[in-house]
Structure 1
């Protein structure tokens, strides 16, 4: 079955679903409505939507097919007239199944995939029976003496969104993944090992002279700090573009059941991803470059070292990060933007943190749009697409379907008032800045003396 392109809108009394299904017979349409669930089947298309409130298929409901455009327009009556249906433009949320308590993760698959899995299972069963039969009748199976060497096993670790992934870095030695800080150990390095290697790599990349140079000559950096993200400036409702709607429609259909700690960690990881996005958009002023994918992946600890938050001991059992959680989280992003990219400025890092606060305050639609922009940069990269697979796709689905608008606003307000102390970064930034200012003052005094001597010489 094919999931068709679709879009939803509403009036005070109805919900309107426009479905693109060209070259079909309208007489073959099968529509079913039950409470909040709407399903439609018109060969070869199948669509199931789960709305936030109940709908009815009554006398006022209609289904009209326009052969010239290929669109089928279905109008359903709201059970409660005048009720506002939220998030009709978040397609992945509409496609998500009803919440289930059976498993932490459910991926929705079609009947064709089910049939294929059944056939594969049957094939494996037959193969297993053949192996057992051969073993019973073959007395000449080769045998070897036990080895004296100890048996060693290397446990494969999981990583990515909710630690759901493994195996994506098995052949990393054959790829030019410049942001991978774990090398060939990416599949086996423990959580503690990843963090230790990340810190060590950041310390190795930290360059005092680079930081002092950017601190002394910051004219262009000040220009970047004054730049405003268009999403923040607009601060108004918007409609997703056709390209964005298509990207939303192509997202995997998953349901995530998380506890309070997992939810908190996802919000924190989201903050680090948005920080990297904010830095990339500021430094390119919204015009991405071939280096943009590298920048985003390098600045995100969860990507480069498979090391997501939390970065501090748990402070409470709430699903919403506390200010200490957020401070520890942002300090890691500050460390990376001061040790890897071209522009290394603490003031620039603070501007990026402010951007993250504004994006959280604007809510899930704006955040989804930023994630889609990031996803587009990564999924078209021949190496960094892997981070799209293990992180971004899931975040695009989770933010739409599961992120709380109230939680996002609380996090945004906390980030707005957050202060990252320079001493928490791990390098003596204040001392370096003081030395730089002293040098600048001496150079300025020398220039003044030279000017005075030149003036005296002219007068003589």
Structure 2
């Protein structure tokens, strides 16, 4: 167990305990108050504090977790209002275990030795009441776990950086305890470089690829054809655009950040390796990342008929390389975060969609190359509709992530900032140009790397009966 970093303060009526426990599931918090003993457990953290005076849990008590900062704030009511709690700044004293005093469990009647029948002793032990046995167990297991004051450390840990403009780190430190099924890097997300993440992603995609699954969906594609024939309501010409009250409230709650500088300053930033403000190459990467994020949204929206399911958060995260593997584009040639690429090309756009196609053929329920092509067309149409429609799609994704007790982390490291950037700084002209390129891009089956054409030809031959009669095993 880890002793978290914490601090204590007080008001006339309450004691406030602030605990730093980033990247945890708030629903797993266990809090117990027993007079002056306070205990908190949430994997992988355990905290037990001994106060000088008693506390109570009542209607005025509360516990609030802020995932953006990683702090859990617990407010407990004082047993006696107005009473001063001393030494709240002496953390080691608060962590010291409470002295354990047990009442004698055996009363000595006589010091003379007596010989008793062993069978009689066994019978007496078996006749102990349930309460007596609980007392014996409590004595045997005294849960005074060792604790020590946590060393001070910055909120964002030093190490690998990821997310929007590589601004984030530390969000996957305790990923082992959060049941994050889409994170392919596990706790190594905090140490792997971008190149290592990319290699892990490709390896994981190859491991998950199932050619029999793909052939089955290719052979029986009736429902997939229905999905392809569906039209997204945001792309319907009959709908007039207007943000809902919920969308307006979401926009008001987005973080306020500066994400742009005049073009004349970009060369200076690139020369001095500034990472807090986007350079031209970083902005270039953001536009490409936006297309991959929209692809995941388009796939989930199309396969659920725009009615998100409990699996939607998993689907979106699994299909987005910058979420599941923290691997963002460009994926083409030698381009990267520090290369000053100023123009988009069809080859680069096509290469940016290859990971999305591969993941749509290896992970979700419906695995069809034709369905992936239709989702790319949706992305092109979203971009051609302009920044308002794109922001609406991003906010819909954000709402899905924010309501998941594990995957909300991807809202923090990507979607919040991407919503702000798209709304305030993304150029409508660039989005239109990008939409045209996405529409005209060509992703070949050969570029996927899994011999799709050979598998499809084999299925066609079996269905036509050219080679042999199909038996039950083939089906």
Q: Same fold (TM over 0.5)?
A: yes
Q: Is 2:380 the partner of 1:357?
A: yes
Structure 1 distance, partners of 2:164, 2:409, is 12
Contact 2:160 2:191 in 1 (8 A): yes
Shift of 1:217: 0.3
Larger relative helix fraction: 1
- Pairing of 1:22-421 with structure 2 (within 5 A): 156-234=159-237, 237-257=240-260, 258-313=278-333, 317-421=340-444
Cα deviation, 1:398-440, whole Å, max 9, x if unaligned, reads 0011100000000001111111011001110000001111111
Shift of 1:321: 2.4
Shift of 1:318: 5.0
Structure 2 distance, partners of 1:262, 1:288, is 31
Contact 1:363 1:408 in 2 (8 A): yes
Contact 1:275 1:333 in 2 (8 A): yes
Cα–Cα, structure 1 residues 444 and 192, in superposed 2: closer, same or farther, change >3 Å?
closer
- The CA RMSD measured in Å over matched residues stands at 2.1
Cα deviation, 1:327-372, whole Å, max 9, x if unaligned, reads 0001110000000001000000000000000000000000000001
Gaps of 5+ in 2: 1-89, 91-156, 261-277, 471-475
TM-score (norm 1): 0.62
Which one of 403, 419, 422 corresponds to residue 445 of structure 2?
A: 422
Contact 2:461 2:467 in 1 (8 A): no
Contact 2:346 2:440 in 1 (8 A): no
Shift of 1:320: 4.5
Contact 2:233 2:239 in 1 (8 A): no
Shift of 1:235: 6.8
Shift of 1:237: 4.6
Structure 2 distance, partners of 1:234, 1:155, is 49
Structure 1 distance, partners of 2:400, 2:467, is 44
Question: More displaced, 306-315 or 267-276?
Answer: 306-315
Larger Rg: 2
Shift of 1:375: 0.3
Cα–Cα, structure 1 residues 163 and 416, in superposed 2: closer, same or farther, change >3 Å?
same
SS of alignment partner, residue 234 of structure 1: coil
Gaps of 5+ in 1: 1-126, 128-153, 448-460
SS of alignment partner, residue 338 of structure 1: helix
Contact 1:320 1:407 in 2 (8 A): no
